[in-house]
Structure 1
Amino acid sequence: MRRWPHRPFLQKGVRLRRRFLHHAKCGGEKMSGNRGLFFRTLLLGASAAVSKAATFLLMPFYTAALSPEDFGASDLVVSAAVLLMPFVTLHAGPTLFRFFAGAREEEKRAVLSTAAVMAISGSLLFLLLLPLLRFWPVLRAYRYDLLFYVWSASLHSVLTQYLRATGGYTVFALLQPLTALCSLSLQMLFIVVGGLGARGYLLGIILSDLAASVFLLFLLRPWRLFAWRAVSRRMLGKMLSYGLPLIPGAAFWWLMSLSDRYFILHYHSLEETGVYAAAARIPALFTFVLGVFLEAWQYSALQVGEGEARSAHFARIYRMLLPVSVFGAAALLVLSAPLVTVLFAPDYRGAVQFVPFLVLAALFSSLSGFFGTAYQSALRCVPVFFSSMLGSGVNLLLNFLLIPKLGATGAALATLIAYFSVFVCRAHHTATFLRFSRYFKKGAVSLLLLLLSAGAVSMGALRAGVLLAALSILPFWCEGRAVFEVLVKKWRFLLKNYQKY
Structure 2
Amino acid sequence: MDRSILSGILSVSASKFVALIVGLLSKPVLARLLGPEQFGEYATVMAVQAIFMIFVSAGISDGVRKYLAEDRDGDRWKASVIGFYLRTATGLAIGGTIVLACATYSDFFATVFSSRFSRYFYVLIALVITAQYWEFARKSLMGFGLERYSEPLKILYSVSFPLVALPLIAAGYGVIGAIIGQIVATGLAAIGGLTVLHNRKSLKNVFRRPPEGFPRREMLTFNSLSIALIFLLMSLYHVDILMLQAWVGGDEVGYYKAALEFAEFLWFVPIVFQTVFVHSTAELWSNGKTEQISLLAAKTTRYTFLLTAVMSIGIASLASEVIPAYWRYGMEPVGPLLLLLPGSLGFALARPILAISQGNGELRYPIAATGVAAVVNLLLNLILIPRYGMQGAAVATSIGYTSMVVLHVWSARKIGFDPLADARVGRITLASLITAVPIFGLASAITSVITVPYVGTLPVSILVVPPLGLGIFLLVAISVRAIGALEILEILTEFPDPIGALANTLCKHLRRLKVETGVGEFFRP
Give the whole-Å Cα distance in 1 for the aligned partners of 2:348 and 2:383. Answer: 26
1:135 alignment counterpart: 108
Aligned pair in 2 of structure 1 residues 59, 493: CA closer, same or farther (>3 Å)? closer
Instruction: Please state whether the residue corresponding to 1:362 is helix, strand or coil.
Output: helix
Give the whole-Å Cα distance in 1 for the aligned partners of 2:180 and 2:353. Answer: 35
Aligned residue type for 1:337: S
2:206 alignment counterpart: 226
Q: Structure 1, residues 22-62: CA drift from partner, whole Å, max 9, x if none? A: xxxxxxxxxxx533333322222222111111111123312
Map 1:74-473; keep pairs closer than 5 Å: 74-103=42-71, 104-130=74-100, 131-133=102-104, 134-137=107-110, 138=113, 139-192=117-170, 194-221=171-198, 222-230=202-210, 234-304=214-284, 305-345=288-328, 347=329, 349-432=331-414, 433-435=416-418, 437-438=420-421, 442=425, 446=429
Contact 2:294 2:419 in 1 (8 A): yes
Aligned pair in 2 of structure 1 residues 298, 429: CA closer, same or farther (>3 Å)? closer
Structure 1 residue runs of 4 or more that deviate by more than 6 Å after TM superposition = 447-450, 469-476
Select the residue among 489, 496, 499 that pairs with 2:501: 496
User: How far apart are 1:186 and its partner, in Å?
Assistant: 0.4
Task: Tell me the TM-score normalised to structure 2 length.
Answer: 0.78
Give the whole-Å Cα distance in 1 for the aligned partners of 2:360 and 2:125. Answer: 35
Aligned pair in 2 of structure 1 residues 109, 497: CA closer, same or farther (>3 Å)? farther
Contact 2:278 2:356 in 1 (8 A): no
Give the whole-Å Cα distance in 1 for the aligned partners of 2:94 and 2:498. Answer: 50
User: How far apart are 1:357 and its partner, in Å?
Assistant: 2.7
Give the whole-Å Cα distance in 2 for the aligned partners of 1:181 and 1:487. Answer: 29
User: How far apart are 1:475 and its partner, in Å?
Assistant: 7.4
Give the whole-Å Cα distance in 2 for the aligned partners of 1:373 and 1:215. Answer: 26
Aligned residue type for 1:82: A
Contact 1:56 1:343 in 2 (8 A): no
Give the whole-Å Cα distance in 2 for the aligned partners of 1:353 and 1:495. Answer: 41
Q: Structure 1, residues 92-125: CA drift from partner, whole Å, max 9, x if none? A: 1210111012143221222112111221222222
Aligned residues: 452
Contact 1:190 1:201 in 2 (8 A): yes
Give the whole-Å Cα distance in 2 for the aligned partners of 1:298 and 1:246. Answer: 12
Instruction: Please state whether the residue corresponding to 2:305 is helix, strand or coil.
Output: helix
Per mean C-alpha deviation after superposition, the further-off stretch among 92-101 and 370-379 is: 370-379
Identity among equivalent positions (%) equals 20
User: How far apart are 1:203 and its partner, in Å?
Assistant: 0.7
Give the whole-Å Cα distance in 2 for the aligned partners of 1:325 and 1:445. Answer: 11
Aligned pair in 2 of structure 1 residues 421, 237: CA closer, same or farther (>3 Å)? same
2:523 alignment counterpart: none
Q: CA RMSD in A?
A: 3.0
Give the whole-Å Cα distance in 1 for the aligned partners of 2:428 and 2:197. Answer: 49
Per mean C-alpha deviation after superposition, the further-off stretch among 118-127 and 317-326 is: 317-326
Give the whole-Å Cα distance in 2 for the aligned partners of 1:435 and 1:170. Answer: 31
Give the whole-Å Cα distance in 2 for the aligned partners of 1:448 and 1:321. Answer: 14
Q: Structure 1, residues 224-259: CA drift from partner, whole Å, max 9, x if none? A: 332342287853211111111121221211221211
Per mean C-alpha deviation after superposition, the further-off stretch among 223-232 and 398-407 is: 223-232
1:478 alignment counterpart: 481
Per mean C-alpha deviation after superposition, the further-off stretch among 373-382 and 130-139 is: 130-139
Aligned residue type for 2:413: A
User: How far apart are 1:327 and its partner, in Å?
Assistant: 2.1
Aligned pair in 2 of structure 1 residues 54, 219: CA closer, same or farther (>3 Å)? same
Aligned residue type for 1:393: V
2:515 alignment counterpart: none
Contact 1:310 1:434 in 2 (8 A): yes
User: How far apart are 1:66 and its partner, in Å?
Assistant: 0.9
Give the whole-Å Cα distance in 2 for the aligned partners of 1:443 and 1:257. Answer: 29
Give the whole-Å Cα distance in 2 for the aligned partners of 1:448 and 1:267. Answer: 41
Aligned residue type for 1:336: A
Task: Tell me the TM-score normalised to structure 1 length.
Answer: 0.82
Contact 1:275 1:348 in 2 (8 A): no
2:491 alignment counterpart: 487
Contact 2:320 2:331 in 1 (8 A): no
Give the whole-Å Cα distance in 2 for the aligned partners of 1:52 and 1:116. Answer: 30
Q: Structure 1, residues 180-211: CA drift from partner, whole Å, max 9, x if none? A: 1111100122111x310111111101101101
Aligned pair in 2 of structure 1 residues 389, 361: CA closer, same or farther (>3 Å)? same
Contact 1:114 1:232 in 2 (8 A): no
